[in-house]
Chain A
Amino acid sequence: MKKIPKHIITASILCVFVVAAVIYLAIVFRSAKQEEPIYAGPGVTEVRKLSYWFPGLANTSGDTDVYILDSGVPGASMLVLGGTHPNEPSGFISAVMLVEYCRPKAGTLYVIPRANNSAFTCTDPQEAAPMKFYIDTDGGTRAFRFGSRATNPIDQWPDSEVYVHASSGQKLSGSETRNLNRAYPGREDGNLTEKIAYGITTLIRNEDIEITVDLHEASPEYTTVNAIVAHEDALELAALTLWEVEDSFQISVEKSPTNLHGLTHRELGDFTDTWALLMETANPSQGRLHGRIDSDLVVSGKDKFYTRAATYGAVTVPYTESGISLSERCARHITCLVQFAQQYAFVGSEGDLDLGDMPTYRQILENGIGHYLADAQ
């Protein structure tokens, strides 16, 4: 019998290990496609898919749930976008909290927790970001996906060398091709990201949404952080909100630049009748200066390197050893959302919008955001 050469045996064994590794990794990566449950709370009256407004999204990873919280009392309407950038978790979690806790008393609230659903299925390359982060609720720990800033390249590829924004002709880096917040107002026949933007724009137009708020985060060293960015039509509403909340926390109002295209606060204000606003909180897991990134950093916001950087004046927001927790970041978003709704009565013309009995900034800080989420089931 002919003896099998040693190098053939080792190569064969390694091939078996390769197949085993691929199967294991495939299971791990595919788990990112499984959406974590969001439990419709007492205020939710209907759940529709975004493809209801734009059928071109049906059966794509860009289709996403739209939660409708209709108070039954005629009034104004507000759309809240979470998860435009799934690596900015306070926007996503604040939207989930609205779905699971909010009970409007007047007007209608629309919430899209996963605005860019495709971007939840991957993480950004070379960031070593966790696939999930964990929040303690009163009834156990819940896991949420930590995603990417951009649409999954599996769903939209390749990126062009230069991204040309369709309606303005503005040129940006090719990587922005998959950035939902550079794609508005979107295109019916565009790429997946532009189609998602088009779906959201169509929802706003068809439902006559009065206020649209896009929830974001930015790194603590970024200049536009702890801020409300408002389209010129929404500036008065943003200013009134600032006056109401600045006793609780420091925040600024910035006017949406007219020469920066594709963003919600510019294009939704220009192409629809909605008052478009965007909010930014400071997320230490997103910047360039943090250490190891894991669920604890995402949730606690504590990072010794940012603490040190703050002593050198390298960050633009107050940062101490106690960090900037996810609860604090969500509290900022939710407090401002409540105020947008309340202050609309003074500057709007389409009736009242009342989000009902929502926790205050202090209450969210004291109890934690998990207290206002549904229990793990």
Chain B
Amino acid sequence: MLKFVYLAIVAFVLVLITVNMFRKKNNFFFQLDAAIVMVTLLLRLLLIK
């Protein structure tokens, strides 16, 4: 059960970051930061370690 709560939180944060990345204007480095964080979150979401 805890695992699914954890995955739900990761998925929620991932969605927020993705949405923010598409909304952020004139700040490429913010988008780059977001992309790097997305890689680690996606790996966690897919339970790849």
Contact = CB atoms under 8 A, between A and B. Distances in A.
B3 A157 contact: yes
Nearest to A153: B49
A143 to B, nearest CB: 20
Chain B contact-residue range equals: 20 to 34
B2 interface: yes
Residues of A contacting B: mostly: helix
Interface in B24-47: 24-28, 31-32, 34-35, 38-39, 42-43, 46-47
Contacts of A21: 39
Contacts of B39: 18, 21-22, 25
Interface residues of A, number: 21
A29 B35 contact: no
Given A7-B31, A10-B28, A18-B38, A26 B48 contact: yes
Given A7-B25, A14-B31, A25 B49 contact: no
A152 B49 CA distance: 8
A7 B47 contact: no
Given A5-B25, A30-B48, A157-B3, A22 B31 contact: no
- The 5 A-B pairs with the shortest beta carbon distances in the complex, nearest first, are A14-B35, A11-B22, A7-B25, A22-B42, A18-B38
Contact of B49 (A7, A14, A29): A29
A115 interface: no
Given A22-B43, A29-B49, A158-B3, 8 more contacts: A7-B22, A7-B27, A10-B31, A11-B21, A14-B21, A29-B48, A157-B2, A157-B3
Interface of A: 5, 7-8, 10-11, 14-15, 17-18, 21-22, 25-26, 29-30, 122, 152-154, 157-158
B28 to A, nearest CB: 6
Contacts, number: 53
Interface of B: 2-3, 6, 18, 21-22, 24-28, 31-32, 34-35, 38-39, 42-43, 46-49
Nearest to B30: A7
Given A5-B25, A7-B25, A22 B46 contact: yes
A18 B15 CA distance: 14
A158 B3 CA distance: 8
A26 B43 contact: yes
A347 B32 CA distance: 68
B38 A7 contact: no
Contacts of A15: 18, 21, 35, 38
Nearest to B28: A10
Contacts of A14: 21, 31-32, 34-35
21 contacts: A7-B24, A7-B26, A7-B31, A8-B22, A10-B28, A11-B21, A11-B24, A11-B31, A14-B32, A15-B21, A15-B35, A15-B38, A18-B42, A22-B46, A25-B43, A25-B48, A30-B48, A152-B49, A153-B49, A157-B2, A158-B2
